[in-house]
């Protein structure tokens, strides 16, 4: 992923994601999809980036 594609509106520190902008902590996607794996999410750990793609 090239950092010139970094979306400075989406910060991300998940370096294992194919959409992570290598030397910056930003996502290269134009938009992301957030979801949950819980029936009743109550903490940030209950949410997931559904746009994640493993490198």
Question: Does the residue 11 lie in any domain?
Answer: yes
Contact 24, 47 (CB under 8 A): no
Question: Does the residue 7 lie in any domain?
Answer: yes
Question: Does the residue 55 lie in any domain?
Answer: no
pLDDT at 3 over 70: no
Average pLDDT over residues 13-36: 94
Q: For residue 2, name the pLDDT band (cuts at 50, 70, 90).
A: low
pLDDT at 11 over 90: yes
Contact 46, 38 (CB under 8 A): yes
Question: Does the residue 28 lie in any domain?
Answer: yes
pTM over 0.95: no
Helix (H) or strand (E) holding 35: strand 34-36
**pLDDT score of 5:** 87
Quote the domain boundaries for residue 13.
3-49
pLDDT at 45 over 90: yes
Question: Does the residue 54 lie in any domain?
Answer: no
Sign of CA dihedral 23, 12, 6, 38: positive
**pLDDT score of 20:** 94
For residue 15, what are the CA distances in angstroms to 38, 40, 42, 51? Answer: 24, 28, 26, 14
How many separate domains does the chain show? Answer: 1
Question: Does the residue 14 lie in any domain?
Answer: yes
């Amino acid at each position: 992923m090239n950092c010139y594609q970094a979306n400075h509106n989406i910060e991300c520190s998940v370096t294992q994601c194919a959409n992570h902008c290598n030397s910056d902590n930003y996502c290269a996607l134009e938009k992301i999809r957030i979801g949950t794996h819980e029936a009743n999410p109550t903490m940030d750990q209950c949410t997931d980036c559904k746009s994640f793609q493993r490198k």
